[in-house]
Amino acid sequence: MRTKINLPTALYIHIPFCESICDYCDFTKLQYFHSFAKKYLVALKRELNERVQNKDIKTIYIGGGTPTSLDDKQFEALLKMVEPYSKNAIEYTVEANPESLSLSKIKQLKKYGVNRVSIGVESTHDQILKSINRKHTFSDVKSVMRNLRDNNIDNINLDLIIGLPNVSFKMLEEDIKNILSLKPKHISCYSLTVHEHTVFYINKIEEPDEEFAYQAYKSINSLLEKSGFTHYEVSNWALPGYESKHNLVYWNNKRYYGIGLGASGYIDNIRYKNSTNFNQYVSFMNEIEQEIVTPSDEKDYELMLRLRTKFGVNLIDYQKKFGVDLYASHKQVIDEYIAQGYLTLQDNVLAPTFEGMMILDKIYLDLA
């Protein structure tokens, strides 16, 4: 007899539209047009109703693209569509860009129970923002933060990019100080990756070299720790209790629904990815890629994902789940990493230090 499927309690929804396209962007996105978004919301509602069998959803994340690029009516239609799933949500996040998070949209967020907002800041230097085709200024970020707080939405993440062209180390530190002055609860810093088919790639912009990225992360970490933040995942810092509950579902190798163009999900033993072809998606011809996750794959995912966070891998749970005593099978290499300050082992939890998070690929290969 087949075992009962544990339905996911996390839901990701992708809104692929943006007001303009940033020069470095490799996400599944397209220019916003009212008529495109209208068609998209119809297809999205259908996928949501068909795929999401569990109404008892604990975490919701609406990302993009830029969800706030929808006009007010479409934005409300989206939040209304999600309402039947959000009743029991403990964390409900919407991504936003500063220039399109209007007061009316903030009031809609509040009305529909959204309790966390993630804002793409990327840089706090207006000339840099302009040079990468972002449409906001740092002053827009400040006013959006004020408006969110005036409407009692205080759980806010700010995103920053490390290694943008013409951003010196000093400017990066200013970015962190500027961001801290806004008192967010959570900060994400991603190192620039230059993908094919982006303006950056065409213009031969280079990614930051390893040493720059390492020194940048180190300096950011030190500034943020002094302000009470904890580095809990490779690119993420949070004040106590404000770690992203939704993203921890991914990093803890748990199941989640993914809805929308190019969205990924993980249900039962299948990881899937929706079509990235807009016309296919809105014509209800969503061609889905699937990966059957075998117990051995799941063991690898578990290690790879859990080692991304400071919460690490509980070796007793790991052994119960996969029948493998990781410490016994890799004692020498684990002991070496611990002695060198890359890993810690306390109360049967194997976790990376800050330095360990900087070389995770190597650690993972040695432990796989």
CB of 133 to ligand SF4, least distance (A): 8
The beta-carbon contacts of 242-245 under 8 Å, at least 24 apart in sequence, are 242/155, 242/185, 242/186, 243/186, 244/91, 244/93, 244/116, 244/157, 244/186, 245/58, 245/59, 245/90, 245/91
- Which CB, 137 or 353, lies closer to ligand SF4? 137
The identity of residue 72, as a single letter, is D
- Which CB, 78 or 363, lies closer to ligand SF4? 78
Identify whether the C-beta of residue 85 lies closer than 8 Å to the C-beta of residue 60: yes
By DSSP bridging, strand 313-314 and strand 343-346 are unpaired
CA 340 to chain centre: 30
> By Cβ distance, which residue is nearest to ligand SF4?
25
Apex CA 282: angle with CA 281 and CA 285, to 5°? 50
CB of 25 to ligand SF4, least distance (A): 3
- Which CB, 129 or 267, lies closer to ligand SF4? 129
Interacting residue ranges for ligand SF4, rule: CB under 6 A: 18, 21-22, 25, 27, 29, 64-66, 97, 120
CB of 364 to ligand SF4, least distance (A): 28
Contacts of 194 (CB under 8 A, 6+ apart): 24, 200, 201, 205, 206, 207
- Which CB, 184 or 352, lies closer to ligand SF4? 184
- Which CB, 9 or 274, lies closer to ligand SF4? 274
- Which CB, 101 or 367, lies closer to ligand SF4? 101
By three-state DSSP, how is residue 36 classified?
A: helix
Helical (H) or strand (E) element with 230: strand 230-233
CB of 132 to ligand SF4, least distance (A): 9
CB of 15 to ligand SF4, least distance (A): 10
- Which CB, 25 or 224, lies closer to ligand SF4? 25
Distance CA 343, CA 340 (A): 8
CB of 69 to ligand SF4, least distance (A): 8
Q: How far is CA 358 from CA 31, 213, 217, 309, in A?
A: 35, 9, 9, 12
Q: In 263-328, at which residue ranges do the beta strands (DSSP E only) sit?
A: 264-267, 270-273, 289-292, 313-314
- Which CB, 20 or 230, lies closer to ligand SF4? 20
**Tokens read off for 248:** 């921890």
Identify whether the C-beta of residue 33 lies closer than 8 Å to the C-beta of residue 282: no
CB of 332 to ligand SF4, least distance (A): 43
Identify whether the C-beta of residue 339 lies closer than 8 Å to the C-beta of residue 275: no
CB of 67 to ligand SF4, least distance (A): 10
